[in-house]
């Protein structure tokens, strides 16, 4: 029997070092380009994120999810209006119309009340909601956001090089003011072996890049090009990277937004921490001309990201509306009855 496939593992230390050797940067970019073309997922070491920070995040998240739903609902997403920040209960989020077996908290970059998009009621813009207890969750989340941003920028610079572009191509254009979102997901254990429900069903991410930290429990699976599923075992200190729909669009399928799913059969509660690094809200994502000769492929959901026209904010809003349809309807109705 052949061994189970694993994700490519890339040491990105040359990308985050203060004075990297150009040859090492180019070698790392080549490794990431290969992983993007062959899998769409890869794991990274050498990112420089203090492992103690993830420990703080896990401890605070466990303390929050152990509280009653009544207590957690003090920061329910409905309380944030169009900002889409806060807690949702198990079954409150849909994937392809099916309720997920998970609960979670939505966060993002902090926006002041006088931010133009907050004033105009733009979706996914606004202040984060943090619980009173545990109070440590606020600092852990904000510190995590600060620690992941330079990692995301570094990986995107390597992706630019792998595509034959200047390393600042993304920063100078479609991520000049990136849309940064962060989630904490809690997957309760599936205790019945006959239970075929999924923590989250097959899906792809929407933007450019996701940086995922996992706790010690497995459950994440990635769909390989041959249709088989790869189990992504958690490794301490390793971040998992995957690509979103906008990189598939940008490269006309040279890089693919790879389907993945989660089912927690560990017998214990599972936590995951996906950090989404996406185009600027008002950015339009072009297609690179030097990838135009690549053949089209059938996506898992039958969608055609190459046919999309509009801004990334339009695309993201259309996707999130399907994930939380009732909340989206309520927020939209409320906004229309209280025009700015």
Indicate the burial class of 21 (C-beta count within 10 angstroms; 0-12, 13-18, 19 or more).
exposed
Amino acid 337: pLDDT: 41
Mean pLDDT, rounded, of the chain: 90
pLDDT in tens, 277-323: 999 999 999 999 876 555 555 666 777 888 888 999 999 999 888 88
Predicted local distance difference test score (pLDDT) of residue 19: 72
Q: What pLDDT sits at residue 296?
A: 54
* pLDDT given at position 3: 41
As a whole number, mean pLDDT of residues 227-253 equals 94
Banded pLDDT at 5 (limits 50, 70, 90): low
Strands 229-231 vs 220-223: parallel, antiparallel or unpaired: antiparallel
**Residues 32-84 pLDDT 10s:** 999 999 999 999 999 999 999 999 999 999 999 999 999 999 999 999 988 99
CB-facing half-sphere around the CA of 265: CA atoms within 13 A: 15
What DSSP string describes 96-117?
Answer: TTEE-S-EEEEEES---TT-HH
Task: Quote the pLDDT of residue 21.
Answer: 86
Q: Cβ(257)–Cβ(204) under 8 Å? A: yes
Q: Mean per-residue pLDDT for 174-200?
A: 88
Cβ(233)–Cβ(219) under 8 Å? no
* d(C-alpha 112, C-alpha 118), whole Å: 8
Domain boundaries, the chain: 9-337
Note the pLDDT of residue 226. Answer: 85
- pTM beyond 0.85: the answer is yes
In the prediction, which pLDDT does 300 show?
66
State pLDDT tens for residues 84-141. Answer: 999 999 999 988 889 999 999 999 999 998 999 999 989 999 999 999 999 999 999 9
Lowest mean pLDDT among 155-164, 172-181, 222-231: 222-231
In this prediction, residue 328 carries a pLDDT of 74
CATH number for the region 9-337 comes to 2.60.120.330
Please give the residue that has the higher pLDDT: either 107 or 338.
Answer: 107
At residue 339, the pLDDT reads 39
Q: Which DSSP state fits 244?
A: B
- pLDDT of 340 above 50: no
Q: The tokens of 73 are what?
A: 């609902």
The alpha carbon torsion through 319, 137, 75, 106 (nearest 10 deg) reads 0
Give the SS3 label for residue 73. Answer: helix
Q: What angle do CA 104, 109, 113 make, to 5 degrees?
A: 110
Phi, psi of 244 (to 5 degrees): -110, 180
Query: What's the pLDDT at 225?
Result: 83
Partnered with residue 175 across adjacent β-strands are: none
Cα distance between residue 170 and residue 26, in whole Å: 17
CA 140 to CA 149: how far, in whole Å? Answer: 15
């Amino acid at each position: 029997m052949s061994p189970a496939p694993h994700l490519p593992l890339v040491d990105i230390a040359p990308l985050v070092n203060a004075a990297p050797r150009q040859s090492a940067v180019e070698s790392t970019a080549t490794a990431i380009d290969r992983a993007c073309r062959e899998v769409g997922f890869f794991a990274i070491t050498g990112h420089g994120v203090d492992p103690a920070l993830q420990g703080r995040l896990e401890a605070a998240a466990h303390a929050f999810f152990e509280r009653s739903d009544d207590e957690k609902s003090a920061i329910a997403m409905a309380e944030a209006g169009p900002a889409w920040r806060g807690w949702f209960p198990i079954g409150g989020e849909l994937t392809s119309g099916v309720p997920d077996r998970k609960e979670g908290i939505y966060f993002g970059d902090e926006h002041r009340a006088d931010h133009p998009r907050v004033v105009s009621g733009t979706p996914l813009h606004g202040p984060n909601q943090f619980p009173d207890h545990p109070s440590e969750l606020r600092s852990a989340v904000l510190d995590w956001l600060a620690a992941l941003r330079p990692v995301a920028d570094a990986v995107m610079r390597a992706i630019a090089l792998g595509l034959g572009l200047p390393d600042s191509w993304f920063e100078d254009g479609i991520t000049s003011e990136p849309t940064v979102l962060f989630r904490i997901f809690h997957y309760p254990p599936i205790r019945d072996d006959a239970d075929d429900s999924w923590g989250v069903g097959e899906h792809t991410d929407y933007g450019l890049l996701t940086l995922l930290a996992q706790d010690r429990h497995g459950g994440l699976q990635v769909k390989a090009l041959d249709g088989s599923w790869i189990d992504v075992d958690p490794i301490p200190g390793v971040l998992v990277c995957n690509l979103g729909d906008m990189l598939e669009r940008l490269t006309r399928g040279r890089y693919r937004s790879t389907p993945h799913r989660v089912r927690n059969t560990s017998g214990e509660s599972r936590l995951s921490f996906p950090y989404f690094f996406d185009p600027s809200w008002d950015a339009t994502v072009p297609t690179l001309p030097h990838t135009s000769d690549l053949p089209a492929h059938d996506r898992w959901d039958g969608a055609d990201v190459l046919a999309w026209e509009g801004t990334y904010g339009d695309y993201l809003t259309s996707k999130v509306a399907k994930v939380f349809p009732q909340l989206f309807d309520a927020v939209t109705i409320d906004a229309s009855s209280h025009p700015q």
